[in-house]
Structures are given as C-alpha cells and as structure tokens.
Amino acid sequence: MPASIAVCFTAAAILVAGLFALKKYIDYPRLPSYVQGPPSPSWVAGHAIDLWQNQEQAGDLEFAWFKKYGATFKIKGTFGEDILMTSDAKALQYILHTCTYKFEKAQEMLISVLASTGAGILGVNGTTHQRHRKVLSPAFSETQLRGYVPLFQRVGKTLTRQIRNAVDSECGAKTLNMHAWFGRASLDTSANRRYVFQVCRDSGTLGHLRDKSPFSETSGDAYLTSRKL
C-alpha cells in the first residue's frame, strides 16, 4: 500500500475515533424530550448547513418549524448540541429581561462578534457585560432618547420617500433590496448622531444604493477586514 494512502486511512481512522469519543464523552445540557423539533440531518453539523445554505430566504425554515411545532421547539447544533428556539413573548421576557445573565451568549456567537467588533458589549458575558451596560446606560436614558426622535423622523421620512420613488421608477416593481435600504438609513442615523456627520451631501436623500460616500466606504472596509481576521 502506498505511503500516501496509508496516511489518508490513518487520518480518517483518527477522525472517526475522535468523533465517536466526542459523541460518548461530550456532555451538553439536554432539553426535555417533550420539547419537539425537526429531525437532525447530521450529528456533526446538526441543522447548521440547512440554516446557512439550504433556504432561499432567511427565516424560511424557522417559520416553517414554528408553524409545525409551535412557539417553542428545539433544533440541533454541532456535535448533537440542543438549541432552544422560541417566539413566546413571556419566555423571551424572562430570557432577555428577568434573568438575562442566566442565559449567556453561545461561544460561536462570541467568536464571530469578537472577530467583527472586538470585546464590546455584544461580545462579552457576565460581569464584563454588566460593566459595559452600566457605562452605556446613561446614553440611552429616556431624556437622551427624546433627542433622537427628530433624527429618526427625518431619516424615516426620507427612507419612505426614496423607496416610493424607487418603486415608481421601476414601474411598480414588487421586489426591493430592503437590507440595503435600511443599511443606508442606519448608517446615516448613527453617523449623524454619533459623529455629527452626514453620509450623503443632500439632507433630503440617503443616496442611491450604488453611491458610496467616503464614510460608508470606510465603514464597509473596516467590517470586511475584521471578518477576515
């Protein structure tokens, strides 16, 4: 047997043995059996491949599962991990407000956020998150938020007008890239409020989707670069 084939067989055997060891000894918390959910297509990948690649629009699978299994169900993560999915209002209030720090962010999410934005409030858990939240809370008090209303109204009206113009110019087109439109609006809002900088020169427009200001180009380049790190 050639040496290269022997090496491949050895590597495959080690990989299979490692997966069996993981399956036997890994100790993920298990959800109760009465919580239903779709069957897992793979113990290794779970539903990850289906969610990332096998749906035409984001949310197609989740909406279908919610319709079939109800407001709360479970799916499988990598290596057989149970993941709870819920749209129940009381459950979400308990998780996100009442007992926030009992439900920590998943490690996969933390790795992605840390790579994108660094160790900010979105990429930390526990006491570190509490410290960040304490520092940021004054900026989001009721008094401060009142000052944002005129800006939100201005950007909202501009966005509405430009979407209507886009529909009219396309002779009643039924499909619009809302992700891009809301991205322009969000960038204009945050830049204007935080940096007193307007993305578009004309205060009555968010700019065409293909138009890029130096600020938007810099923001996009920074995000793409962080994703490659």
d(CA 140, CA 170): 39
Helix axes 178-195, 214-228, angle to 10 degrees: 110
pLDDT-based confidence at 66, cuts 50/70/90? Answer: very high
Tokens (6 digits) for 143: 């008094």
Percentage of the chain surpassing pLDDT 90? 7
Tell me the mean pLDDT in the region 59-87.
Answer: 88
Domain boundaries, the chain: 29-103, 104-137, 147-228
Q: Give residue 170's pLDDT.
A: 63
d(CA 229, CA 113): 12
d(CA 171, CA 21): 60
* Long-range contacts, stretch 122-125, CB < 8 angstroms, 24+ apart: 125/101
pLDDT at 4 exceeding the cut of 80 = no
Instruction: Output the pTM of the full model.
Output: 0.53
- List the one residue out of 176, 155, 154, 153 whose CA is nearest residue 165: 176
Q: Give residue 8's pLDDT.
A: 66
- Which uninterrupted H or E stretch holds 72? strand 72-76
Tell me the mean pLDDT in the region 5-28.
Answer: 62
Tell me the mean pLDDT in the region 100-118.
Answer: 77
